[in-house]
Structure 1
C-alpha cells in the first residue's frame, strides 16, 4: 500500500535537437507558455495547462546524458497526450495544417477521462503529440 495518491502528470521531458525551434513549436502551435529558461542546463520549462513540458537540448549538459538524438531508429517516447478544450476538429485541422503539419482526421480514442476525439501530430523532432478533447458521455 502506498502512502500517497497520484493526482496527474506533473511534467514530461523531451530531448530535442534545436531548442529554439522546439520552443517556437510548443508555444506558437500548441499554446504552451515558456515559464522558465535554464540555459546553463539546456533546459526549458513550458506550461501546458496544469502540467509542464520540459525541453532538453540534446547537446546541452543534461541532454548529453541521454545519448544520441531521437531519430528514425529511436524515439524519446511513443507520444504525449495533451487534453485540449474545445475540440473543434475543422478549426484544429486548419490551425495545424497552417503550421505546416501533416494531420489526419480525428479518431475516437481512450484517455484518462474516457473515450473522446483526438488528433495526432508531430513536433519538429518527430515526437508524436496527441491533442485530445473531452470524453463523450455514454
Structure 2
C-alpha cells in the first residue's frame, strides 16, 4: 500500500486545562518544560518537552470556545498532532477520501517544527488527529 507521506513522530499534544497559570507551573517545575509560544487571544500556552510541544489550552478563556469538553469531567485532550514527511495536499485528500475519512479542517499552524500545513481528521473512535507536514517556514518566535 502506498501512502502520501511517511510518519515522522508526534509533533504536539493539546491538553485542555482550566487554570493556565497552575498548569504552566506544573509543566515547568515538575516536568522541566521550558516556555514555548504563547497565543493570548486563544488562551493557549505552549511548552517544550525536549523536541516536542505540549500545548495547554485554557477552556475558561473565550478563545477556547471550540475546545471546551462536551461533558463536565469529559475529555481533556483536544488533539494529537502527527508529524509527517512532505506530502502533496491533493494526494493526501484523495488518500483520506479513499478510506472514507472526512477532512474536518485544513489550516496553516505552528508546531514543534515551525509553521506548516495541517489536515484535521477524526479516527474511528472520535479522537481528533492533526496530520502536519514539515515546516514551510520557521515560526520565528524561538
TM superposition score normalised by structure 1: 0.49
